[in-house]
């Protein structure tokens, strides 16, 4: 199964790209039947957050429509 991810970044303070600390991401997993589940995860990069989100999606649901990932700054 292929998942499609939609990402968004909301920055409320100056961002220092040299920092590699864990960031907080909000993940919304949307299913074909209109149901969805929300999770908060920590990751050091968007690609790591996407990998974690896809892993959660496959564990939680079988009929995934798309996964949304929002960085909480």
Domain residues of the chain, as ranges? 5-13+20-72
Distance from first CA to last CA of the chain, Å, rounded?
31
* Residue 23, SS3 per DSSP: strand
In this structure, are residues 65 and 32 in contact, taking their beta carbons and an 8 Å threshold? yes
The CATH number of 5-13+20-72 is 3.10.20
Q: Which residue has the tokens 């299913």?
A: 31
pLDDT, averaged across the chain = 81
Q: pTM (2 decimals)?
A: 0.68
Lowest mean pLDDT among 4-13, 27-36, 63-72: 4-13
Q: What pLDDT does residue 60 have?
A: 79
In this structure, are residues 57 and 67 in contact, taking their beta carbons and an 8 Å threshold? yes
pLDDT in tens, 17-50: 555 588 999 999 998 888 899 999 999 999 999 9
Q: How confident is the model at residue 64 (pLDDT cuts 50, 70, 90)?
A: confident
DSSP letter at 2? -
């Amino acid at each position: 199964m292929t998942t499609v991810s939609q990402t968004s970044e909301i920055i409320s303070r100056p961002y220092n790209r040299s920092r590699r600390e864990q960031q907080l991401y909000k993940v919304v997993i949307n299913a074909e039947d209109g149901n969805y589940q929300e999770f908060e995860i920590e990751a050091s990069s968007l690609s790591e957050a996407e990998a974690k989100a896809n892993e959660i999606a496959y564990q939680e649901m079988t009929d995934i429509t798309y996964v949304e990932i929002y960085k909480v700054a």
